[in-house]
Amino acid sequence: MAEIKCPMCGKPNPDDLDACQFCEARLKPVTDELSRSQPPIHVGDEPTKKDTAELEPVLPKWLREVRQQARESVEEQDEEQEQQEPVGAGDQHEDLLAGLQSDIEEDEIVPDWLSNLHGGEPSEIQDAIEISEDRLRAISGDAESSNSDMGTGDRLPGWASHPDAAQETREGGETLGDWLAREVGKEKAQEAGEKAPEESRAGFGLRGDAETDLSFQGESVDESAQFEGEIPSWLRVDENDATSEGGIGTKPLEEPAYREAPEDVQVGESAQDEPVDAMPDWLSSLGEETDGHQAGGDETVAGNGQAVKDDQGPPGAESELSFGASRPESSDEDEIPAWLAQMGEEEHQDEAVHSASEAGPEERIPRPAVQPEADEGWQDLSEVKPFALEQDVVPNEAADGSALLGEEDGAGPGEDVDALFSIEMPDWLSAVEQSAGPQASPEPEADSEVIRPAELPSWVQAMRPVEAFVSGEGAGGERSDTEQKGPLAGLSGVLPLVPGVGPSSKPKTYSIKLQASEDQLASAEQLEQLLEAESYPRPAIPRPGLPAQRWLRMTIFALLLIVVGFFLFAGTSVMYIPLSVTAGTAQALNIVREELLPDAAVLMVFDYQAAFAPELEASAAPLVDHMMLLKHPRLTLLASKPSATGLSERFMHNTQPGQSYVNLGYLPGDAAGALAFVENPRSAKPAIVDGQSQWETPALQGVTLVSDFAAIFLLTDEADTARIWIEQLHNRRGATRLVLISSSQAGPLLVPYMESGQIDGLVVGLEGGAPIEKVNSNRPGTVRRYWDAYGFGLIITITMIVAGSFWNLFSGWQANRKKTGEK
């Protein structure tokens, strides 16, 4: 057996089930039958009007007659109600019964379920017809007026007013709600008091109001009780009685009939499954179709916030619900739409069918499907129910759909209900209304012979699920609601791909071959070559080497040696020593002359190579000599280069002979050594000579930190080593003055430190020491000794560069000219 997967819970179910046996969700779509007979509906398509009158000839003759008589009787009854006093229902009952009986007698094809109807007692059938008629009148009466005419005894539904029926229902299986039982019991008591019609009617009306309030307006029972002043006296008496007896007082208000519907649904479904095969095709199809409408209508009601989910509940309850929706809005019978009038006519048929089919004691109970296993008659009656529900569907639809969307003529109750719910309607529903409203199907004519059993209103067609039409398969088909692939795999209830929304054909394939012209390809290739050439270095053009001109080099060397040697050893004083000094030299001189205190501890760091010894000694000697003459500082020597220890001794021996000083020696480690010495001089350079620490000598007494020195003179020939000391001393030296004496080569690199204030004085080369020596009374005279040689050496250098450049330029021009002439 094929299985259907439930779209809600996903559990498998037999193929023949309409509802899930686990969650009771509908397995087959409501519009399954329609989908097979109609072309698929696409998104955006407007519903087409459907004339279902062609199905009328299919109906059996007795049924057609019954329907026709029902219409006529309803028309007559309406006329009589408007003009005359209410007429008893006995004639109508007789008419309905006569038609039914004649139909039963004349109909050749009588199904089994209908044959059971013949076994019923005439009196019981008569009672059933009376009950149906009363119920129909009650419904019609509610449709006519919501607040008035509640005292008319003709509108009391027979199933509710007949005490025997209620009693039998209670005995039959207690499928009716307690409220109904109490109501029937109350009617019994009222019959004894000769007020049975009024009280029963009052109870029905009260229930109808309660249902109306609860189901559509959402008002509480208390709110309904606020209208107590409007309730007639007989109703108040009824309430009192109910209170005392626990009957139909306020209990029906609290528990309306539709809340008991689920119990009926279960029973009804179980009873309906079996006799489907026994029904004629036309009737079974109508029944299925009606089920679909019924379910759709109920689901719509539930969607409106009501708790009704009874697919196969009592027709009376459904009718009451639907009319309860329209009752407050319908004040005039003329405003009743044609479909509602037709419903009234069909309601007679419904009652007639029920009455005719009920042969047992339960015949007066208007819920044949409630009794599942009472006897065969009840089962057959449940088979009749789908056809009867067809009549009930219309009011439900009207309550659910037309009441919201409005009728075509705009004069029915749906118009007012539309106005009531127009504010709360969602956009999608408003869109449906706009599209379906102008093209709504015409109302069936009341006096027409055409029966439209399966015609759907336009708005219902528009609201049909699209997927069933698109797929052409029902829920019972092979189509699975669970997505098997794609991003929505595993999800159920996904909308199918509608033709026209997505691509309907295979995507067009395009060739991946580049279609370009020859010019474009050539340009692309040229571009690639350019980009590729960028990644390769441009090869250097080899220049022709010049032959070494040793004689030129020897000439330069000879000239320099002669000139510089001559003036160096001659001891002349030709060149003028200027007195103008730079800012760094001036500050260094000022420190020596003004800031240093006598006998202050001064540290001299020798940080130069032996090659620069003559220059640095000549540059630093005047300043140191000036300082020694003025302040007599306690000198401490430190070397940061291996040969600087000997150079420091050389410096002191050549410039300050006889002066006492402390030579700490060589401090290795470059930057690390400088940092260690700046942070802790005694620890970084213990300087133990002959078992005695140099730090204990008088020159270093009181000196534990670098900041204890009054000044630090750094003699350097490299900017890098000077930078190390400047950086390490920056935050440690405190008020200690830092003066740099550098060679002419390193001088320009140290000028920025001087300009930024990181050093306090800067003496650069012979030019920096010359004015200091002149200020220092030409002591020690080293600058003067080198000054003439330095001056004449520059002159001869400039001369050689200028002369040699012009000569080489001319010779080169001649060579090129010669080459050009040769070519």
- In the region spanning residues 426 to 485, those forming contacts with another protein, defined by CB under 8 A, are none
Query: Binding pattern to another protein, positions 778-797, x when CB under 8 A?
Result: ---------x--xx-xxx-x
Residue 659 buriedness (CB in 10 A; 0-12 / 13-18 / 19+):
middle
Considering beta carbons, is residue 57 or 752 the nearer one to another protein?
752
Task: Say how far residue 83 (Cα) sits from the centre of its chain.
Answer: 66
Binding to another protein, residues 663-692 (CB under 8 A): 663, 665, 667-670, 672-673, 675-676, 679-680, 683-684
Q: Which is nearer to another protein, 629 or 801 (CB)?
A: 801
Q: Any alpha helices (H) in 476-612, and if so which ranges?
A: 518-534, 550-570, 583-590
**Which window, 472-480, 495-503, 585-593, 806-814, contacts another protein (CB under 8 A)?**
806-814
Question: Shortest distance, CB of residue 598 to another protein, whole angstroms?
Answer: 25
Least separation, in Å, of the C-beta of 557 and another protein? 5
Tell me how far, at minimum, the Cβ of 635 lies from another protein, in Å. 13
Gap between the Cα atoms of 378 and 84, Å rounded: 38
Instruction: Give the E-state strand segments of 424-538 in sequence order.
Output: none
CB of 701 to another protein, least distance (A): 21
Question: Closest separation between CB of residue 752 and another protein, Å?
Answer: 5
Neighbours of 225 (CB within 10 A): 12
The residues in 602-661 that bind another protein, with binding defined as CB under 8 A, are: 609-614, 642-643, 645-650, 652-653
CA distance 779 to 775: 9
Binding to another protein, residues 750-779 (CB under 8 A): 751-752, 755, 767
Question: Alpha-carbon Rg of the chain, whole angstroms?
Answer: 60
Residues 122-161 that bind another protein (CB under 8 A): none
| 492-495 LR contacts (CB < 8 Å, sep 24+) | 492/7, 492/8, 492/10, 493/7, 495/466, 495/467
| Residue found under tokens 């730090």 | 695
List 749, 774, 778, 785, residue binding another protein (CB under 8 A): 749
Task: Enumerate residues 238-257 that contact another protein by CB under 8 A.
Answer: none
In the complex, what is the shortest distance from the CB of residue 746 to another protein, in angstroms, rounded to a whole number?
Answer: 10
Q: Cα angle at 117 between 115 and 119, to 5 degrees?
A: 85
Instruction: Classify 482 as helix, strand or coil.
Output: strand
Which of 6, 575 has the CB closer to another protein?
575
Task: Supply the minimum distance, in Å, between the C-beta of residue 621 and another protein.
Answer: 15
Q: Which is nearer to another protein, 254 or 720 (CB)?
A: 720
Q: Which is nearer to another protein, 138 or 770 (CB)?
A: 770
By CB under 8 A, name the one of 148, 566, 812, 818 that touches another protein: 812
Report the C-alpha gap between 207 and 196 in whole angstroms: 16
Interface with another protein (CB under 8 A), residue total 73
Q: Shortest distance, CB of residue 706 to another protein, whole angstroms? A: 14
Decide: is 521 part of the binding site for another protein (CB under 8 A). no
Residue 802 CB, nearest approach to another protein (Å): 7
522-581: contacts with another protein (CB under 8 A): 543, 546, 549, 552-553, 556-557, 560, 574-578, 580
Helices (H) and strands (E) in the chain, counts: 33, 10
| Binders in 716-735 for another protein, by CB under 8 A | 719-720, 723
> Torsion over CA of 380, 382, 386 and 390, rounded to 10 degrees?
110
Whole-angstrom distance, CA of residue 636 vs CA of residue 699: 7
Q: Please say whether the dihedral angle defined by the alpha carbons of residues 260, 262, 265 and 270, taken in this order, is positive or negative.
A: negative
CB of 823 to another protein, least distance (A): 19
* Residue 10 vs 804, nearer CB to another protein: 804
Per DSSP, what are the bridge partners of residue 606? 639, 715
Q: Tell me how far, at minimum, the Cβ of 662 lies from another protein, in Å.
A: 11
Nearer to another protein, 174 or 755 (CB): 755
**Residue with the two structure tokens 């193929």:** 15
Q: Are 116 and 275 contacting, i.e. CB atoms less than 8 angstroms apart?
A: no
Based on CB atoms, which residue is closest to another protein, 225 or 561? Answer: 561
Q: Who contacts 314 (Cβ-Cβ below 8 Å, separation ≥6)? A: 257, 261, 264, 366, 367, 369, 370
